[in-house]
């Protein structure tokens, strides 16, 4: 390996223009118009750079990377067979073969040429006989300098020198020598004059003075607080916006000619940070900044700037952004902030749809509560859209939407909610019953309530019966009695007793004869009653809740005729009447 050749570092010919090169995934640009020989070397160097950037990310036993390395080695060996050797001149952004650029990449983070040139390498010479072991060592060195996994690692020249390659020679800039070789006769001395480098090239690390131990310095409390405020969370939103303001000014400078696309990732990162209910004021200023930029004339060097700014604005109010905003609501807070509505109005083209989409997927109670409040705000503008989404929803999302419709639908919502007692989804049925139990009763609900009663399971029938009992609507009396007569053979005695209570409350003294008919004795010497036990239980309970002496007399007569199965229910009805009398007397 030789060192000490010309290190001017300045390309003798200008770089190919962007329009004259094809850019690959890693930033490599293949110069146009290359002959077959130079094209083969160019493809070889592009593959070498791509492999070096990811070499340390793969397991050594990975079959895919081994096949890739084998193909790379075969390409190198076949090229050296035909060329004898490859002498590559290293410039800041390109590698040249015979003064012809065969590798070009202006991305400092990904350019193989830049990494080599920055560390002082000026010429690479690969000679025939270069094999797999040397390729592996070369890739390890290049990959370490790419990834920075060893922050205290030596520079490229030192690593290449220590590797002791047999078929790879490296020439470096004068004045840069590997550590430990200062006294060698074949190497230039450390004091030899260096070569001028371009201003934008990173020089090797300077020697630092010996470290010293820390010393204690007293700092005034107000200065400490100022430092804490400077790095605290509260100052970060303002700092982010100040940074974007500076970037906005830089984007208007013709001498930089930067496009918005080059900085869009910084704006997107600030957007993601500000998507929180705790940072809504800063998010509003962020949106205002984007709207101002969208209203400015696009410079000649960035004709697509308006479209890029509008895309970023749209992303502030898309489904992902709205969900992130709503999910940032603290668990103990379930109140919709006015600032959130202001932000959604400014950046979200369809806030109603975006909030409904979030509600369909969200689990958090606080998020759902705030989302429902936001829907109540927006649904008044488009109630039909809310109803349409409800009809397509199921489960918790449908019940949440029904609650919103109940709050924004006015008087017309009561009938719609009552109809949902027949909804096939149990969660929607429960939500409808919850609202019906708390709203003022109107006769228009009667038909829907009874239809729901007929279709519901026993537990929900019990909840509907409570609503019916509080309504006092005597029109329920006949259909409830018919329900008992039709299903007496299938009704459980507890449910029959529940229905009987409502029958007694609604029927009053005028219905005593009807319940007495359900307590018709079996006749003869046999104790008991004609008909199923459930009907007997319903009649006895109905009489227990009628405050009339005739009802008590009917229960007494029924007790005399009761058998062992029905007697406990008759006795319980008599006890119920006694408790009611005591409560009335107090």
Angle between helices 365-379 and 338-347 (to 10 degrees): 60
Among candidate residues 11, 166, 168, the one with its CA nearest the CA of residue 86: 168
In total, the chain counts a number of residues equal to 586
In order of 29, 241, 311, 313, 579, the CA distances from 261 in angstroms are 20, 18, 11, 14, 81
Q: Within 13 A of 413's CA, how many CA atoms are on the CB side?
A: 20
pLDDT tens-place string over residues 432-487? 888 888 877 777 777 778 888 888 888 888 888 998 888 888 999 999 999 999 99
Q: Are 319 and 354 in contact (CB under 8 A)?
A: yes
Q: Tell me the pLDDT band of 561, cut-offs 50, 70 and 90.
A: confident
CA distance 4 to 265: 43
Q: Tell me the pLDDT band of 150, cut-offs 50, 70 and 90.
A: very low
Region 144-155 average pLDDT = 58
What is residue 16's predicted lDDT score, i.e. its pLDDT? 38
What is residue 145's predicted lDDT score, i.e. its pLDDT? 61
pLDDT tens-place string over residues 331-365? 777 888 888 888 888 878 788 888 888 888 877 88
According to DSSP, the residues that pair with 121 across neighbouring strands are: 172
**Whole-number average pLDDT of the chain:** 82
What is residue 546's predicted lDDT score, i.e. its pLDDT? 92
What is residue 380's predicted lDDT score, i.e. its pLDDT? 80
In order of 51, 58, 159, the CA distances from 140 in angstroms are 10, 12, 10
What is residue 390's predicted lDDT score, i.e. its pLDDT? 84
Predicted TM-score (pTM) of the model is 0.48
Q: Are 179 and 200 in contact (CB under 8 A)?
A: no
Question: Which burial class, exposed, middle or buried, applies to 526 when counting CB atoms under 10 A from its CB (0-12, 13-18, 19+)?
Answer: exposed
What is residue 426's predicted lDDT score, i.e. its pLDDT? 84
Q: Tell me the pLDDT band of 12, cut-offs 50, 70 and 90.
A: very low
Q: Are 567 and 535 in contact (CB under 8 A)?
A: no
Can you tell me whether residue 198 is helix, strand or coil? coil
């Amino acid at each position: 390996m030789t060192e000490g050749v010309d290190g001017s570092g300045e390309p003798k010919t200008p770089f190919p223009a962007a329009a004259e090169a094809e850019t690959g995934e890693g930033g490599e640009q293949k110069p146009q118009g290359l002959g077959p020989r130079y094209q083969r070397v160019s493809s070889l160097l592009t593959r070498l750079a791509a492999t070096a950037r990811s070499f340390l990310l793969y397991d050594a036993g990975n079959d895919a990377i081994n096949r890739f390395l084998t193909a790379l080695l075969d390409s190198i060996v076949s090229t050296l067979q035909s060329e004898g050797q490859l002498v590559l001149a290293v410039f800041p952004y390109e590698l040249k073969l015979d003064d012809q650029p065969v590798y070009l990449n202006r991305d400092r983070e990904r350019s193989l040429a830049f990494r080599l040139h920055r560390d002082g390498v000026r010429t690479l010479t690969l000679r025939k006989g270069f094999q797999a072991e040397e390729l592996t060592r070369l890739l390890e060195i290049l990959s370490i300098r790419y990834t920075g996994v060893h922050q205290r690692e030596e520079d490229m020249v030192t690593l290449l020198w220590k590797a002791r390659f047999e078929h790879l020679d490296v020439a470096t800039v004068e004045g840069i020598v590997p550590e430990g070789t200062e006294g060698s006769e074949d190497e230039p001395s450390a004091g030899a004059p260096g070569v001028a480098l371009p201003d934008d090239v990173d020089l090797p690390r300077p020697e630092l003075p010996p470290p010293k131990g820390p010393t204690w310095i007293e700092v005034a409390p107000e200065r400490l607080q100022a430092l804490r405020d400077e790095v605290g969370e509260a100052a970060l939103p303002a700092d982010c916006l100040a940074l974007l303001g500076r970037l906005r000014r830089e984007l208007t400078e013709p001498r930089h000619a930067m496009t918005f696309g080059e900085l869009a990732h910084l704006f997107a990162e600030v957007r993601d940070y500000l998507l929180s209910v705790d940072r809504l004021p800063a998010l509003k200023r962020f949106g205002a900044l984007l709207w101002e930029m969208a209203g400015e004339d696009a410079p000649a060097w960035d004709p697509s700037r308006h479209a890029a700014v509008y895309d970023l604005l749209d992303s502030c109010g898309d489904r992902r952004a709205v969900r992130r905003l709503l999910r940032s609501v603290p668990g103990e807070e379930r109140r919709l902030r006015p600032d959130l509505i202001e932000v959604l109005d400014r950046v979200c083209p369809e806030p109603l749809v975006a909030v409904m989409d979030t509600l369909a997927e969200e689990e958090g109670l606080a998020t759902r509560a705030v989302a429902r409040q936001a829907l109540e705000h927006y649904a008044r503008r488009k109630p039909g859209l809310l109803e349409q989404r409800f009809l397509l929803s199921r489960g918790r999302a449908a019940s949440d939407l029904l609650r919103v419709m109940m709050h924004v639908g006015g008087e017309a919502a009561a009938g719609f909610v009552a109809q949902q007692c027949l909804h096939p989804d149990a969660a929607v049925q429960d939500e409808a019953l919850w609202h019906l139990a708390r709203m003022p009763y109107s006769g228009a609900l009667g038909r829907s309530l009874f239809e729901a009663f007929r279709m519901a399971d026993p537990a929900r029938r019990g909840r509907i019966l409570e609503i019916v009992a509080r309504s006092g609507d005597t029109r329920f009396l006949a259909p409830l009695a018919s329900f008992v007569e039709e299903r007496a053979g299938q009704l459980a005695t507890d449910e029959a007793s529940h229905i009987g209570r409502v029958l007694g409350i609604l029927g009053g003294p005028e219905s005593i004869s009807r319940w007495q008919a359900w307590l018709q004795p079996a006749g003869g010497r046999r104790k008991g009653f004609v008909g199923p036990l459930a009907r007997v239980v319903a009649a006895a309970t109905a009489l227990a809740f009628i405050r009339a002496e005739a009802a008590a007399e009917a229960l007494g007569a029924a007790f005399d005729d009761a058998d062992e199965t029905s007697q406990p229910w008759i006795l319980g009805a008599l006890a119920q009447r006694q408790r009611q009398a005591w409560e009335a007397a107090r």
